[in-house]
Amino acid sequence: MAGNGAAARGGGGRGVVISDDWPGYSLDLFTYPQHYYGDLEYVLIPHGIIVDRTERLAKDIMQDIGDNDIVVLCVLKGGYKFCADLVEHIKNLSRNSERFISMKVDFVRLKSYHNDQSMQDMQIMGEDDLSKLTGKDIVGTGRTMKVLLNHIEKYNPKMIKVASLLVKRTSWPDGYRPDYYGFEIPDLFVVGYALDYNEYFRDLNHICVINDRGKAKYRV
Q: Is 138 in the site for ligand HPA (CB under 6 A)?
A: yes
Among residues 140, 142, 178, 214, which is the contact residue for ligand HPA, using CB under 6 A?
140
148 counts as binding ligand HPA under rule CB under 6 A: no
Strand partners, 105: 72
Task: Show contacts with ligand HPA in window 160-219 (CB under 6 A).
Answer: 189-191, 195-196
- Helix (H) / strand (E) element for 43: namely strand 40-45
- Out of ligand HPA, Mg ion, none, what residue 140 binds, judged by CB under 5 to 8 A for its kind, is ligand HPA
Determine, following the binding rule CB under 6 A, whether residue 79 of this chain makes contact with ligand HPA: no
Distances (CA, A) of 109 to 73, 96, 119, 133, 155: 10, 32, 15, 16, 18
Q: What does 194 bind: Mg ion, ligand HPA, none (CB cut-off 5 to 8 Å by kind)?
A: none
Binding at 192: pick from Mg ion, ligand HPA, none (beta carbon under 5-8 Å per type): none
Q: Give the residue with the Cβ less far from ligand HPA, 65 or 191.
A: 191
Q: Please list, in sequence order, all residues whose beta carbon lies within 8 angstroms of the beta carbon of residue 181, skipping any fewer than 6 positions away.
A: 12, 15, 57, 139, 163, 164, 165, 166, 167
Residues 6+ apart with CB under 8 A from 142: 171, 174, 175, 176
> Which residues of the shown chain bind Mg ion in the complex (CB under 5 A)?
113, 196
Q: Is 113 in the site for ligand HPA (CB under 6 A)?
A: yes
Q: Whole-angstrom Cα distance, residue 218 to residue 53?
A: 30
The full DSSP string for 104-119 is: EEEEEEEEEEETTEEE
* 190 contact choice in ligand HPA, Mg ion, none (CB below 5 to 8 Å, kind-dependent): ligand HPA
Q: State which residue, 57 or 145, has the beta carbon closest to ligand HPA.
A: 145
CB of 102 to ligand HPA, least distance (A): 31
Q: Which residue number, 41 or 196, has a Cβ lying nearer to Mg ion?
A: 196
Alpha carbons 3 and 69: distance in angstroms, whole number: 26
Q: What is the 8-class DSSP label of residue 174?
A: G
78 binds ligand HPA (CB under 6 A): yes
Where does this chain bind ligand HPA (CB under 6 A)?
78, 113, 138, 140, 189-191, 195-196
